[in-house]
Amino acid sequence: MSGWQTLTGSAVALPHSNIDTDQLIPARFMSQPRGAGYGSFLLHDLRGAQEGHLLDQYRPKVLVAGRNFGSGSSREAAVYALVDYGIKAVFAPSFGDIFAGNAVNNGLLAAQIDDGVLAMLIATMADTAGGAYVDLTTGCARIAGHDIGFDLDPVRRQKLINGWDDIDLTAQYSEEIKTFRAARFAAHPWALPTT
């Protein structure tokens, strides 16, 4: 996965809280291999119920949404759907913990903003799109004419910028892991499954 530092595009706001991963991608699409592309599944039932949904009008790179975005099921497919649709950043007051981890593993920024900023962005954009510029290195963004700062864990910031792959990163610790394993099962033989 390649990293990124800045993005320029448009943003739209979904003024709902608790947009869970079941909504982001309904379960019935999850048997597809990734190669098929997950973009068309994004918020499928919500978009389908509404002719000319905001998302389809503007194909934004940035989403602004209410609190607890990406809560619920651990399905990484929710992130695939966002990323394959072309979204690179989501701004919300809070995110499901597992979703936030999945996001960074796929180059998607999950940026935390406070409720006041959310309310301001929703009021400004309403049913239209705004311009968006995001800079990971400074932690600043300009959305619909508003300069906003966002909170992002420094580790996650680095990972997004560098596009690190954890498996490669962990490989350098293979000796430590081996030693740990041996010590753990020597001290606690009961921890090995009986077979």
Partner 1 sequence: MSAALTLMDKLWDAHEVLCREDGTSLLWVDRHLVHEGSHHAFAKLAARNMNVAEPELTFGVVDHYAPTRAGDVAPDIRRMIKTLGDNARDAGIRLFDLHDPEQGIVHVIGPEQGLTLPGLLINCGDSHTSTHGAFGALAFGVGATEVAHILAVQTVWQKRPKKMRITFDGVLGAGVTAKDMALHWIAALGADGAQGFAVEYAGDAVRALSMEGRMTLCNLSIEGGARMGMVAPDDVTFAYLRGRSFGPPDADWNDAIADWRKLHSDVDAVFDREVRIDASTIAPTVTWGTSPEDALPISGHVPHADDAENIQATLEYMGLDAGMALSSIAVDQVFIGSCTNGRIEDLRMAAKVLEGRRAVVPGLVSPGSAKVKKQAEDEGLALVFMQAGLEWAGAGCSMCVGMNGDLVEPGKRCASSTNRNFKGRQGRGARTHLMSPAMVAAAAVTGHLTDVRPLLEGRL
Residues that bind partner 1 in the complex, under the rule CB under 8 A: 15-18, 20, 22-23, 26-28, 30-31, 33-34, 45-46, 66-68, 71-77, 79, 94-99, 101-102, 105-106, 153-155, 158, 166-167, 170-171, 173-174, 176-177, 180-181, 184, 188-195
Kindly give the pairing relationship between strand 89-92 and strand 62-65: parallel
Nearer to partner 1, 83 or 89 (CB): 83
Closest approach, Cβ 40 to partner 1, in A, equals 16
User: Distance (Å, rounded) from C-alpha 11 to C-alpha 48?
Assistant: 20
What's the token pair of residue 63?
């989403």
Nearer to partner 1 by Cβ, of 145 and 169: the residue is: 169
Least separation, in Å, of the C-beta of 30 and partner 1?
Answer: 7
Q: Tell me how far apart the alpha carbons of residues 29 and 49 are, in angstroms, rounded to a whole number.
A: 17
Q: Which is nearer to partner 1, 85 or 99 (CB)?
A: 99
Task: State both tokens at 166.
Answer: 């954890």
- Minimum Å gap between C-beta 4 and partner 1 is 17
Name which of 102, 88, 96 is nearest 72 in CA terms. 96
- Residue 9: what are its φ and ψ, rounded to 5°? 180, -150
What minimum distance in Å lies between the beta carbon of 15 and partner 1?
8
Indicate the DSSP class of residue 151: B
Structure tokens at 68: 């607890």
Nearer to partner 1, 97 or 135 (CB): 97
